[in-house]
Amino acid sequence: MPPRKGARPGDEKPARRRARRRPDQIPGGRHGLAPEEVAESQRGRILRAMTEAVGRDGYQAARVADVIAHAGVSRKTFYEHFEDKEHCFVVAYEQALARLLSVTIEAFEAQDEWVDQLRAGLTALLHALAQDPTVARVCFVEVLAAGPTAVATRNEAMRGFAYVYDAGRLDTDADLPGFTGISMVGGLSEILYREIVAGQTADLPKLTPELMYMSVLPFLGADTAARELERGRRRRPAGD
C-alpha cells in the first residue's frame, strides 16, 4: 500500500501483531447503533489505545499501526477522526489531564481553609497519578516529546492547576508576583517529571509533605510551611 499523502514518519509501519477484540469494541454485523454512536465508540477506543501506546512505548516509538490494531479500527477510520498521530495524542492528553484536574479541584473545593484545600488537592492528584502510571507518564513526561502543538497545549492546560495556588493569595499579606501560582505549577511539574522518569510513580503520594512545604512557603511563610512538613512526616508509615 502506498504511503498516505501527508503521513508522518512512523505512521505507516505495519502493526506488530493483531490485537484481540477490546471489551468495549462494537461487534461486527448488525448492532442497532446509530452512526453517531459508532463513531463515538471508535473515537474513544482510539484515544484510549493512543494513551496506552504512548504510556507503554513513549511518544516517539508509539505507532499508528499499533494504535489502530489495539483499538480495533481500520486505518481509514483513524484518519476520519484525527489528522495524524500528533493530533490524536493531543486530544488524548487533553482528556487525561482534564480528568486529573477535575479530581484535584473536586478535592480542593471540598475543604474550607486554603492550606487544607491545597493538601487535599495535592493528595488527590498524587494518588490519581500513582494509581495510573500510564496517564502519569503521558501527562507529565511524554507530552514534552510530542511536538510544538502538544507542548503549547500542555502549557495552556497547566494554567488550570494554578487555581489551587492562586487561591492562597487571599490568605497572605505578602505582595507576591502575579505569576507565583503558575511558577509553583512549573516546579510541581518538574518534580513529577523527575520522579516518573525515575520509575517512582507509585511512591508519589509520599512526596506530599515536601510538596506542601514548597507550596505553602511563598504564601504563608517558613513557620507555617515547616509545620505542614512536620505534620505530613508524622503521618507517614514507619520506614517510608
Q: What is the pTM assigned to this prediction?
A: 0.81
The predicted structure's pLDDT at residue 235: 74
Q: Among 16-30, 31-45, 171-185, name the one with the lowest average pLDDT.
A: 16-30
In 3-state terms the chain splits into helix, strand, coil percentages (rounded to 5) of 70, 0, 30
Q: Are 51 and 96 in contact (CB under 8 A)?
A: yes
pLDDT band at 26 (very low <50, low <70, confident <90, very high): low
Residue ranges and CATH numbers for the domains of the chain are: 35-83 (1.10.10), 87-234 (1.10.357)
Task: Give residue-wise pLDDT tens across range 182-240.
Answer: 999 999 999 999 999 999 999 999 999 999 999 999 999 999 999 999 887 887 665 55
Q: Are 108 and 161 in contact (CB under 8 A)?
A: no
The predicted structure's pLDDT at residue 173: 76
Q: What does pLDDT average to over the chain?
A: 87
Task: Give residue-wise pLDDT tens across range 46-65.
Answer: 999 999 999 999 999 999 99
Q: Does the structure show a pLDDT above 80 at 119? A: yes
Q: For residues 212 and 121, what is the distance between their CA atoms, to the nearest angstrom?
A: 11
pLDDT band at 1 (very low <50, low <70, confident <90, very high): very low
Q: For residues 29 and 13, what is the distance between their CA atoms, to the nearest angstrom?
A: 29
Q: For residues 94 and 132, what is the distance between their CA atoms, to the nearest angstrom?
A: 16
The predicted structure's pLDDT at residue 22: 53
